[in-house]
Structure 1
Amino acid sequence: MNQPVATLSRLRSVELRTSAASESADFYENVWGLSVVERGSEGAWLRGTGDEHHVLQLTSAEQNGLGRITFAVRTPAEVDEAARRLGARGVPIVAGPGPTGEIAAGYGVSFVDPEGRVIQLLADAYAVTTMHRSDAVPVGVTHVVLNTVDIDAAVAFYTDVLGMRVSDWSEHQMAFLRCNSDHHSIAFNQAEWTAINHVAYEMPSVDHFMRGIGRLRHHGVVPMWGPGRHGPGDNTFSYFADPAGLVCEYTSGIAQVEEDRWLCRVWRRVPELSDTWGTAGPPSAEVRSHMAGVPDDGPFAHRADLRVSADR
């Protein structure tokens, strides 16, 4: 049996391809609560209050989509070994292994998954000083939900190749995967096409979560769904749309997994479990439409050589 290519320690950052890069950068800085690290004509890099150099990268594009998901690994040697194992499995590598030459520096390798998503494994990236702020702003990115045309194949790739563990299922519609003690850092949603569903940002507490919602309301931005608390993951939720129509979530209180004691559940998809508080009601047609996104074969869709069999 093949070993996973690496041991992932956490989700570092997400890159979004956006049709409204300038407006979205303004939104995430001035309304959402992130801080700009660098900004240019083609996009922006923004940080939370944690020590990651950046947690969100916005890249200008004609159509919305996922640019890249970056996970942390511990050392450059592990990146090199991951690249070797990826090659042995026939997984297409699009960059590295080696120094990235990017704004956060670091030593990394990037590859594509079976549906064309770009995943980066990164060590030795720049860190920044943790910001101690009392206002209600995100610590960083805590999870990403991805729409998939084949949830079983997606789960098989991320568990077998990346060593992630399934925490829970929501019937056969959603799967929640973890790489550390957080209940999930990636979740897959069975859908008609591959797309980014939403990106979730961690708030330090329920109080910060609610005050963050209040700040958005002050700016005239109201939740599409929420506030509420999910059954799977036990996290609070409130979903919004950014200027490009991409979905962003405030969340707090994600369940913590003890590896030797956790039992994976299959949750029923009923309103009282999608929102255990009973405050949000069922998701609206508007939020479902935004979460469906647009068909996205990834930034390397034109490269026929960069496709990997889902059964590897």
Structure 2
Amino acid sequence: MRLGRIDHVALRVADLDEASVRWCLQFGLVERARDGGRALLACNDEPYSVELIEGGEPGHDHVAFALHRDCSLEDARAHLQTLDVEWAEREGCLFVDDPDGRPVQLMPHRDAATEIDRWPQHARPSSTVHVGGPRRLGHVNCLTGDVQAGFRFYTEVLGMRLSDWLGDGGVWFHVDSDHHVMALVDVGYAHFHHLAFEVVDIGKMRDLLDHVARHGRWLSWGPTRHGIAGNIASYVRIPEERCHVELYCDMEQLQDDHVPRAYPDDRYSSNTWGPLPPRSYFRFDPVAIEWERESWETRGRPLPPPPEGWPG
């Protein structure tokens, strides 16, 4: 198994019309297509990078990765069969669940339609790309209750390569030169934490943060400068789909001979500029959201335990 890149993230939404307009307006995306209760949203001129699905419990549905050009769908199928991993095939793709039960979609490699489509993003002529949005979907991060099981799955089953460890409770994976396309943080329970959009620089991040703030959004953490991966990052809370959106730039690029590192689980590894995230950053219950929105912790009111039935 060899993956080529992240393709898209799928989220379930309560109201497709409302959610599509909201994501496009607030994060500078554009709706590419809509069919059968699904809306496909793009950052730039990719087919799409966010899939919104109407119905069901709002939140994460699946993450999709495109196979490397050297790995066919038949190769991936045979690999899963050899490992005796359960999978399903539909719509010309393979679907497999990670140890936390999160579905992963494996899509066949797609060559660029034309030679121009292989050019750098800024050099491709366009009549549809609009100003204001992020450059691309870059990675995802998930909370887990068993980081070792996740490590084995993403390396042995999906063929990702280990980038770095944070103590024994956080692990980052890559498939190309970007420091990570996927990360897991062990907090004792499973939850999809964030999808990450790359922006060109911190100036663009500033513009987007000003924009989302005018729409009532707030930062759950950031701006930060991560020790691991080196990226500058800001995390925007999305209560509607129970996740965060990370806006990031300046990520470390790994060489082919990269040797994974083990960082100490301290403040500097997570944020060379300042504090660790508030505890609400790892929670998605209504209490945590209120405490974040109203800055109650910094106003002297400790974060209460989550309500009954909510993890964390």
Q: How far 1:76 moved relative to its partner?
A: 9.5
Alpha carbons 1:91, 1:113 under 8 Å: kept:
no
What amino acid is aligned across from residue 111 of structure 1 in structure 2? V
Counterpart among 249, 252, 257 of residue 255 in structure 1: 252
Higher RCO, 1 vs 2 (CA within 8 Å, ≥6 residues apart):
1
Alpha carbons 1:194, 1:295 under 8 Å: kept:
no
Take 1:124 and 1:169, find their aligned partners in 2: how far apart are those partners?
29
Residue 186 of structure 1: aligned partner: 182
For the pair 1:71 / 2:56, whether they are aligned, the reply is: no
For the pair 1:218 / 2:214, whether they are aligned, the reply is: yes
Residue 44 of structure 1: aligned partner: 39
Tell me the C-alpha RMSD between the 2 structures. 2.8
Q: How far 1:268 moved relative to its partner?
A: 2.2
For the pair 1:11 / 2:15, whether they are aligned, the reply is: no
Residue 118 of structure 1: aligned partner: 103
Helix, strand or coil at the partner of 1:183 = coil
Q: How far 1:14 moved relative to its partner?
A: 0.9
**Is the alpha carbon distance of 1:147 and 1:295 closer, same or farther for their aligned partners in structure 2, counting shifts above 3 Å?**
farther
Residue 303 of structure 2: aligned partner: none
Q: Counterparts in 2 of 1:90-169, with a 5 A limit?
A: 90-96=84-90, 100=91, 107-125=92-110, 135-169=131-165
Take 1:258 and 1:77, find their aligned partners in 2: how far apart are those partners?
21
Q: How far 1:17 moved relative to its partner?
A: 2.3
Q: Deviations over 1:28-79 (max 9, x none)?
A: 1001111111235734210011x43110111123323432211112459711
Residue 241 of structure 2: aligned partner: 244
Take 1:212 and 1:173, find their aligned partners in 2: how far apart are those partners?
31
Q: Please say which of residues 185-194 and 107-116 is displaced more in the overlay.
A: 107-116
Residue 28 of structure 2: aligned partner: 33
Q: How far 1:251 moved relative to its partner?
A: 0.8
What amino acid is aligned across from residue 209 of structure 1 in structure 2? M
Alpha carbons 1:31, 1:216 under 8 Å: kept:
yes
Helix, strand or coil at the partner of 2:200 = coil
Tell me the TM-score normalized by structure 1: 0.79
Residue 307 of structure 1: aligned partner: none
Q: How far 1:217 moved relative to its partner?
A: 2.1
For the pair 1:24 / 2:19, whether they are aligned, the reply is: yes
What amino acid is aligned across from residue 181 of structure 2 in structure 1? S
Alpha carbons 2:59, 2:242 under 8 Å: kept:
no
Counterpart among 193, 196, 206 of residue 197 in structure 1: 193
Counterpart among 82, 91, 98 of residue 88 in structure 1: 82
Q: How far 1:168 moved relative to its partner?
A: 0.8
Q: Deviations over 1:189-213 (max 9, x none)?
A: 1132222111111112222122211
Q: How far 1:182 moved relative to its partner?
A: 0.6
Take 2:193 and 2:141, find their aligned partners in 1: how far apart are those partners?
5
Alpha carbons 1:193, 1:295 under 8 Å: kept:
no
Alpha carbons 2:60, 2:241 under 8 Å: kept:
no
Q: Name structure 2 gaps, 5 residues minimum.
A: 290-308
Q: How far 1:27 moved relative to its partner?
A: 2.1
Take 1:36 and 1:116, find their aligned partners in 2: how far apart are those partners?
29
**Is the alpha carbon distance of 1:253 and 1:134 closer, same or farther for their aligned partners in structure 2, counting shifts above 3 Å?**
farther
Q: How far 1:124 moved relative to its partner?
A: 4.9
Alpha carbons 1:136, 1:209 under 8 Å: kept:
no
Residue 175 of structure 1: aligned partner: 171
What amino acid is aligned across from residue 116 of structure 1 in structure 2? G
Tell me the TM-score normalized by structure 2: 0.79
Helix, strand or coil at the partner of 1:224 = strand
Q: Counterparts in 2 of 1:267-282, with a 5 A limit?
A: 267-278=263-274, 281-282=275-276
